[in-house]
Amino acid sequence: MLNKLAASELVLNDDGSVYHLNLLPEDIADKIILVGDPDRVPKVSQYFDKVDIKKNKREFYTHTGTLRGERISVMSTGIGTENIDIVMNELDALVNIDLKNKEIKTEHKSLELFRMGTCGSVNPDVQVDNMLVTQNVVGLDGLMHFYQDYQFENEFSKSFLEKFPYDKIKPMLYFADWAEDMAYYYKDARYHGNTATFPGFYAPQGRQLRLKSLDDKFLETLNDLGITNFEMETSAIYAFSKLLGHKAITVNNVIANRRRGEFSSDHHASEKNLIEWVLERIIK
C-alpha cells in the first residue's frame, strides 16, 4: 500500500474534516458509542457531564463530551452495513491518517467501539427487554468480500457454513467475533449470543408484505444453526475492527421475540434502560 493517498481516495471537506462524518481528529474520544438512530445521540449525551462537540452531516450525528471525568463520544451510523463501511473507514482515518498530508501514520491508534442498539430474537427462550451481547456474528450482506485482506474462521463459523442450506446466499457470508478483552464491560448481561446481521428489514428478516421472502422458516433455520438474534450493523463493525486494529463489542436490548410474536410493551423505557445500563458500565 502506498503511504500517500490520492485526493480521490481520502475525500475531505473544505475545513479538512472527513467527508461524511464531518469530523476532525480532535472531535472524537477514544471511546465511542455507536447508535443507529440520530435521535438517539442526544438521548445518550444528555447523561454526559458536559458536551463540547456537536457536529452532523446527513445521518451522521456526533456528540463528544465528558462523563465522570472521562472523554466519550456518541455517534449515529444510520441503518445498515453500507453505512458502517463509511463510519469505520472514516473513524480510522481520523486517528491513523495524517489528514493534512494524506499520509498513513506509522504509529497505530486503537479505538474502543461500543455498538448500542435494539434487536429481535430468533430464540424462543430469550426474554424481551433484556441485554444481549454479541460474541459471534455472521454477515449476510457480502460487504467484506470487497476487501482483499479479510479472513476469519472459528468453530462457530465452520459449523454455520457446513449446515447453512441456502446456496444463493452462502457466497455472501462472512464472520467475526467480539473483542474478547472488552467482554468484562458487560459480564453481567443476561444473554450472550450469536448474531446475524441482515442486509434489509423485510424479506431478509423473514417479513412478507406484497413480496414473498425466501423461506417461511428462515428465522427458525438460523436459530437451529446457533443464531440468537438479528440486527443490521454488527458484522461490519466487528470485521472492520479486526482489519483496522480497533476493538468492538455490541450490546442490544431485545425488543422483539419473533418466534413468539412478542414486542416490548414500552420500547421507549427499554431504550432508556439500555442507555443507562451501558453508560454505567463503560465509564465507572
**Looking at the domain assignment, is residue 11 inside a domain?**
no
Task: Convert 24-34 to b/e letters by CB count within 10 Å (16 or more is b).
Answer: bbebbbebbbb
**Looking at the domain assignment, is residue 36 inside a domain?**
yes
Instruction: Give the CATH number of the domain where residue 222 resides.
Output: 3.40.50.1580
**Looking at the domain assignment, is residue 1 inside a domain?**
no
| CA atoms of 230 and 251, how far apart (whole Å) | 12
**Looking at the domain assignment, is residue 110 inside a domain?**
yes
Q: Give Dmax over CA atoms of the chain in angstroms.
A: 55
pLDDT at residue number 156: 98
pLDDT at residue number 7: 87
pLDDT at residue number 1: 44
Report helix, strand or coil for 123: coil
**Side-chain-side CA neighbours of residue 253 (13 Å):** 20
| Beta strand ranges found along 58-197 (DSSP E) | 60-67, 70-76, 97-98, 103-104, 112-121, 131-139, 174-177, 191-197
**Looking at the domain assignment, is residue 50 inside a domain?**
yes
pLDDT at residue number 70: 98
Tens of pLDDT, residues 20-74: 999 999 999 999 999 999 999 999 999 999 999 999 999 999 999 999 999 999 9
pLDDT-flagged residues of the chain (< 50): 1
Q: What is the pTM of this model?
A: 0.96
DSSP 6: P
**Looking at the domain assignment, is residue 17 inside a domain?**
no
Cβ neighbours for 170, distance < 8 A, ≥ 6 positions apart: 161, 164
Q: Which of 108, 117, 95 has its CA nearest to residue 36?
A: 117
pLDDT at residue number 191: 97
Structurally, how many domains does the chain consist of? 1
Distance of CA 116 to the CA centre of its chain: 8
**Looking at the domain assignment, is residue 8 inside a domain?**
no
Give the domain extent around 111.
25-282
Distance of CA 78 to the CA centre of its chain: 10
**Looking at the domain assignment, is residue 173 inside a domain?**
yes
Instruction: Report residue 269 as a C-alpha cell.
Output: 423505557
Given a contact cutoff of 8 angstroms between Cβ atoms, the answer to whether 121 and 257 are in contact is yes
